[in-house]
């Protein structure tokens, strides 16, 4: 299975690929943007290569996902399918499959687990969209706008329960323990995020706690359970957990940077959603701290008091550029990416290990 | 621990107790309403007696519930506590404890399971309140009005994940299988209910499917897992599952009848909620079928088209009375109550068995 553009395109921003010279020396990078159509013929990106390596398993995961969406209540497959079948990156399932594969998995239980984490992720997106009042998701109208908040909440609950059913099928109490803990951490993170939503004085540490919980916990659980189901050694399990967690942090940092990226508009995604919703992400955390009193008053008015006029977003973008906080956010992502890469180093060199390491840089370079 | 009025009062309508003569002969009952203060001194009701029999375990369950609500994010215990600590009937946890006790349970795992089912139930109530836009719950302003829909959805998710964590603590894959299946059935039932919400032509069969899913499935899982955790025989497990399921159906039928009960207003509960939300419950299903064309047009306008004026509820009450459909709903409840009672009959006579059987009639007589 090759990397397909369109519906399955896992990182649409890869349409623009940044070739960088001197990647590791901060401040001296020169980015040249070239269309992916040209780039892809030369070398498939890390996600496409990962898809190829877990190809057969991924087909089975997609079968399990489709089977688990089935219900005698027509609204359930309609709504679930709206989000799952069309826009899914399948990044988290692929992490389960890759972690199982790199630790020599021999049975098929990881298929259910990979499908389960995708359902947990999708349920989170559905509830997020209701909570945030989102208008776009994966380039389409958000499910809450198409099906209503009521159905979106309830189908989210359904997907969580289906995920739980699939996890039980893998028959591992250890795995269930890891996933139930991750689920609790995720929802705790969502509430923490809601509690901090308009607080411009949120610290970088609190911000990190939120993204560790709401994003990195499921990445970490995905790679860890892949190891557990293969009966990997403790060292391998720890390495994969660390890889997943740090990749997840880097991924979310870049995602939050992208919300202030001009490129994003080309992808049919909402730009400036976080700003309009008063979500305090790292670009704003840093701009508030680095700014002067006038600038802080601007952030307080627009984010804390939610008193925004249409031209405020452009001014926000200027302030972020003035203090280089989008770039600083991506630099922070690089830090966690390096930890993820080193965590994997205990595994013998293999194509899969290489791809997992390249995946880190691929996630980060989405921002360029 | 005796039966306490107020916060822990499990069936507030028991303030009025109906003493009936000739209970089993339909159509000849004579109800005499007397204040519970008089009645209670004579004979404690079934819930109070059940509480006494599972007293020590119930204290442990309450400790487990409080411990599991804890979080470093203050909004979580605030919101969870708003609903759990003050208004909880603890009916489902008591069913877990009773089923474990009647089958000779010897370990403490059932404590976690009892707390877990209460969390699942509470999460369902929170999401229901958001979906229904409820204004009152257990005599207080509904959580969604106090804390907002966003927090209510997310804390509901948190409680589900905490429930899942507690279930895993009981270390039984069989129990996890039962509970994950119940969770899926419950959420499927919620979506089915939403899909049928304004359809006045809903059949009694579809209505039954909905209440079996959204209410009886958790009752059945509660009694079944109590048996499983005690390593009961298959016959005992089946008996308890059947008891729980049929009790749950009867319970919900009576609940739906109560929504059209004049007595309900005295309890600080919303009366006519189902009518105003266009929920088609059995009293309306039967009234629509038994009514003439003019009456059906009334139901279509008020329920299907949601075109209601303030006096419509009184007219709806008249139509229900004309066709005796509230009483018919309670009669249906009696049918399921009898199945529940007979299911228990395989257990040797004991005080606990007697109380569980009396609990059925207690649930049903709430309606008088």
Rounded to an integer, the average pLDDT of B218-233 is 97
User: SS3 for B49-70, per residue?
Assistant: HHHHHCHHHHHHHHHHHHHHHC
The closest CB to that of B192, out of A73, A160, A177, belongs to: A73
* pLDDT at position A268: 55
Query: Does A186 lie at the interface with B, CB-CB under 8 angstroms?
Result: yes
Query: Does A249 lie at the interface with B, CB-CB under 8 angstroms?
Result: no
* pLDDT at position A138: 66
> Which own/partner contact pairs does B271-277 have at CB distance under 8 Å and 24+ positions apart?
B272/B313, B272/B316, B273/B132, B273/B134, B275/B302, B275/B303, B275/B308, B275/B312, B275/B313, B275/B316, B276/B308, B276/B313, B277/B132, B277/B133, B277/B197
Cβ-contact B233, B224 below 8 angstroms: no
CB contact under 8 Å between B171 and A167, yes or no, is no
**What DSSP character marks residue B22?**
S
Q: Of B148 and A212, which is predicted with more confidence? A: A212
Q: How far apart are CA B121 and CA B92, in angstroms?
A: 8
CB contact under 8 Å between A188 and B71, yes or no, is yes
Interface of B with A in 120-149 (CB under 8 A): 127, 130-131, 149
Among chain A residues, the shortest Cα distance to B183 is held by A161
User: Residue B294 pLDDT > 60, yes or no?
Assistant: yes
The closest CB to that of A157, out of B167, B187, B192, belongs to: B187
The closest CB to that of A165, out of B149, B162, B184, belongs to: B184
**What DSSP character marks residue B3?**
P
Q: Of B233 and B31, which is predicted with more confidence? A: B233
Rounded to an integer, the average pLDDT of B124-141 is 78
Q: How far apart are CA B323 and CA B288, in angstroms?
A: 10
Average pLDDT across chain B, whole number? 84
Q: Of A234 and A71, which is predicted with more confidence? A: A234
Q: At residue B103, what are phi and psi to the nearest 5 degrees? A: -105, 15
User: Residue A289 pLDDT > 60, yes or no?
Assistant: yes
For the segment B53-83, what is each residue's pLDDT rounded down to a tens digit? 999 899 999 999 999 988 888 888 888 888 7
User: Going by C-beta distance under 8 Å and a sequence separation of 6 or more, which residues neighbour residue A160?
Assistant: A119, A120, A123, A183, B157, B160, B183, B187
**Strands (E) located in chain A:** 16-20, 31-35, 136-137, 140-141
Average pLDDT across chain A, whole number? 84
The closest CB to that of A187, out of B130, B158, B177, belongs to: B158
* pLDDT at position A231: 95
Residue whose pair of structure tokens reads 């329960």 in the numeric block: A161
Q: How far apart are CA B46 and CA B357, in angstroms?
A: 9
Q: At residue B21, what are phi and psi to the nearest 5 degrees? A: -100, 150
CB contact under 8 Å between B168 and A153, yes or no, is no
The closest CB to that of A160, out of B76, B160, B195, belongs to: B160
Query: Does A67 lie at the interface with B, CB-CB under 8 angstroms?
Result: no
Type and span of the H or E element at A234: helix A234-258
User: Residue B189 pLDDT > 60, yes or no?
Assistant: yes
Q: Whose CA is closest to A99, among A217, A227, A218, A221?
A: A227
Other beta carbons within 10 Å of B73: 23
Write the CA distances from B357 to A200, B114, B253, integer angstroms: 58, 20, 18
* pLDDT at position A129: 83
Q: Considering only A277-291, B33-47, B198-212, B277-291, which range has the smallest mean pLDDT?
A: B33-47
Among chain B residues, the shortest Cα distance to A175 is held by B168
Q: Tokens standing for A40?
A: 């892809």
* pLDDT at position B4: 33
Rounded to an integer, the average pLDDT of A311-337 is 95
3-class DSSP state for residue B137?
A: strand
Rounded to an integer, the average pLDDT of A234-242 is 97
CB contact under 8 Å between B181 and A165, yes or no, is yes
Query: Does B75 lie at the interface with A, CB-CB under 8 angstroms?
Result: yes
- Within 8 A of B173 by CB-CB distance, chain A residues are 168, 171, 173
Q: How far apart are CA B24 and CA A21, in angstroms?
A: 87
Query: Does A168 lie at the interface with B, CB-CB under 8 angstroms?
Result: yes
The closest CB to that of A188, out of B73, B168, B192, belongs to: B73
Query: Does A160 lie at the interface with B, CB-CB under 8 angstroms?
Result: yes
Residue boundaries of the structural domains of chain B? 6-365
* pLDDT at position B121: 94
* pLDDT at position B9: 33
Q: Considering only B85-94, B305-314, B334-343, which range has the smallest mean pLDDT?
A: B85-94
Q: Considering only A131-145, A224-238, B288-302, B348-362, which range has the smallest mean pLDDT?
A: A131-145
Rounded to an integer, the average pLDDT of A359-366 is 90
CB contact under 8 Å between B161 and A183, yes or no, is yes
Other beta carbons within 10 Å of A47: 23
> Which own/partner contact pairs does B72-75 have at CB distance under 8 Å and 24+ positions apart?
B72/A188, B73/A188, B73/A191, B73/A192, B73/A195, B74/A195, B75/A191, B75/A194, B75/A195, B75/B147, B75/B151, B75/B155
User: What does the DSSP assignment read for B283-331?
Assistant: HHHHHHHHS-HHHHHHHIIIIIS----TTHHHHHHHHHHHTTHHHHHHH
User: Residue A93 pLDDT > 80, yes or no?
Assistant: yes
* pLDDT at position A266: 57
The closest CB to that of A171, out of B167, B173, B190, belongs to: B173
For the segment A183-199, what is each residue's pLDDT rounded down to a tens digit? 999 999 999 988 888 89
Among chain A residues, the shortest Cα distance to B68 is held by A184
User: Residue B120 pLDDT > 60, yes or no?
Assistant: yes
A325 min Cα distance to partner chain B (Å): 28
CATH of A11-21+30-365, one of 3.65.10.10, 1.10.600.10, 2.40.33.10, 3.40.50.150: 1.10.600.10
User: Residue A284 pLDDT > 70, yes or no?
Assistant: yes
Q: How far apart are CA B45 and CA A145, in angstroms?
A: 48
Q: Tokens standing for B102?
A: 């009647």
- Within 8 A of B177 by CB-CB distance, chain A residues are 168
Beta bridge partners of A33: A18
Percent of chain B with pLDDT strictly greater than 90: 65
Q: Tokens standing for A66?
A: 């489709």
User: Residue A359 pLDDT > 50, yes or no?
Assistant: yes
Mutate to test the interface with A, among B164, B176, B179, B181 (most CBs of A within 10 A): B164
Mutate to test the interface with A, among B78, B184, B225 (most CBs of A within 10 A): B184
Percent of chain B with pLDDT strictly greater than 70: 83
Size of interface A-B (CB pairs under 8 A): 128
Among chain A residues, the shortest Cα distance to B196 is held by A73
Query: Does B198 lie at the interface with A, CB-CB under 8 angstroms?
Result: no
Type and span of the H or E element at B20: strand B16-20
B266 min Cα distance to partner chain A (Å): 30
* pLDDT at position B269: 59
Q: Residue A43: which pLDDT band, with cuts at 50, 70 and 90?
A: low
Q: Residue B185: which pLDDT band, with cuts at 50, 70 and 90?
A: very high
* pLDDT at position B143: 81
Cβ-contact A245, A219 below 8 angstroms: yes
CB contact under 8 Å between A184 and B190, yes or no, is no
Query: Does B178 lie at the interface with A, CB-CB under 8 angstroms?
Result: no
User: Residue B27 pLDDT > 50, yes or no?
Assistant: no
> Which own/partner contact pairs does A337-341 have at CB distance under 8 Å and 24+ positions apart?
A337/A246, A337/A247, A337/A250, A337/A361, A337/A363, A337/A364, A339/A242, A339/A246, A340/A242, A340/A243, A340/A244, A340/A245, A340/A246, A340/A247, A340/A250
The closest CB to that of A155, out of B155, B171, B191, belongs to: B191
> Which own/partner contact pairs does B336-342 have at CB distance under 8 Å and 24+ positions apart?
B336/B246, B336/B247, B336/B249, B336/B250, B336/B253, B337/B246, B337/B247, B337/B250, B337/B361, B337/B363, B337/B364, B339/B242, B339/B246, B340/B242, B340/B243, B340/B244, B340/B245, B340/B246, B340/B247, B340/B250
Query: Does B186 lie at the interface with A, CB-CB under 8 angstroms?
Result: yes
The closest CB to that of B155, out of A157, A181, A191, belongs to: A191
Cβ-contact B319, B287 below 8 angstroms: yes
Which superfamily does B6-365 belong to?
Farnesyl Diphosphate Synthase (1.10.600.10)
- Within 8 A of B113 by CB-CB distance, chain A residues are none
Other beta carbons within 10 Å of B294: 8
CB contact under 8 Å between A181 and B160, yes or no, is no
User: Going by C-beta distance under 8 Å and a sequence separation of 6 or more, which residues neighbour residue A365?
Assistant: A17, A18, A20
Q: How far apart are CA A273 and CA A253, in angstroms?
A: 15
- Helix axis angle for B109-132 and B55-69, nearest 10°, is 60
User: Residue A32 pLDDT > 90, yes or no?
Assistant: no
Query: Does A188 lie at the interface with B, CB-CB under 8 angstroms?
Result: yes
CB contact under 8 Å between A183 and B177, yes or no, is no
Q: Whose CA is closest to A97, among A59, A58, A64?
A: A58
Q: Residue A38: which pLDDT band, with cuts at 50, 70 and 90?
A: very low
- Within 8 A of B187 by CB-CB distance, chain A residues are 154-155, 157-158, 160-161
């Amino acid at each position: 299975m090759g990397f397909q553009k369109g519906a399955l395109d896992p990182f649409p921003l890869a349409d623009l690929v940044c070739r960088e010279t001197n990647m590791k020396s901060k401040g001296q990078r020169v980015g040249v943007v070239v269309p992916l159509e040209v780039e892809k013929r030369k070398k498939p990106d890390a996600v496409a290569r990962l898809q190829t390596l877990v190809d057969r398993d991924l087909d089975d995961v997609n079968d399990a996902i489709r089977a688990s969406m089935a219900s005698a209540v027509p609204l359930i497959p309609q709504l679930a399918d709206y989000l799952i079948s069309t826009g899914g990156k399948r990044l988290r399932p692929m992490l389960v499959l890759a972690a199982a594969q790199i630790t020599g998995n021999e049975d098929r239980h990881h298929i259910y687990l990979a499908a389960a984490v995708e359902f947990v992720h999708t349920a989170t997106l559905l509830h997020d969209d209701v909570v945030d009042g989102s208008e776009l998701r994966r380039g389409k109208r958000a499910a809450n706008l198409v099906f209503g908040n009521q159905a979106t909440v309830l189908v989210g609950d359904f997907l969580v329960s289906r995920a739980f059913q699939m996890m039980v099928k893998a028959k591992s109490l250890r795995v269930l323990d890891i996933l139930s803990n991750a689920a609790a951490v995720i929802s705790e993170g969502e509430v923490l995020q809601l509690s901090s939503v308009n607080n411009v004085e949120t610290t970088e540490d609190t911000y990190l706690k939120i993204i560790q919980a709401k994003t990195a916990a499921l990445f970490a659980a995905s790679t860890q359970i892949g190891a557990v189901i293969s009966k990997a050694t403790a060292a391998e399990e720890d390495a994969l957990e660390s890889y997943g967690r740090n990749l997840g942090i880097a991924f979310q940092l870049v995602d939050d940077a992208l919300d202030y990226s001009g490129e994003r508009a080309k992808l049919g995604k909402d730009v400036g959603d976080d700003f309009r919703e008063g979500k305090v992400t790292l670009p704003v955390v840093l701009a508030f701290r680095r700014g002067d009193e006038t600038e802080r008053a601007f952030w307080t008015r627009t984010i804390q008091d939610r008193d925004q006029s249409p031209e405020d977003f452009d001014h926000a973008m200027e302030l972020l550029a003035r203090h280089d906080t989008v770039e600083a956010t991506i630099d922070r992502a690089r830090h966690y990416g390096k930890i993820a890469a080193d965590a994997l180093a205990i595994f013998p060199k293999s194509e899969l290990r290489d791809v997992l390491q390249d995946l880190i840089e691929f996630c980060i370079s989405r921002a360029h």
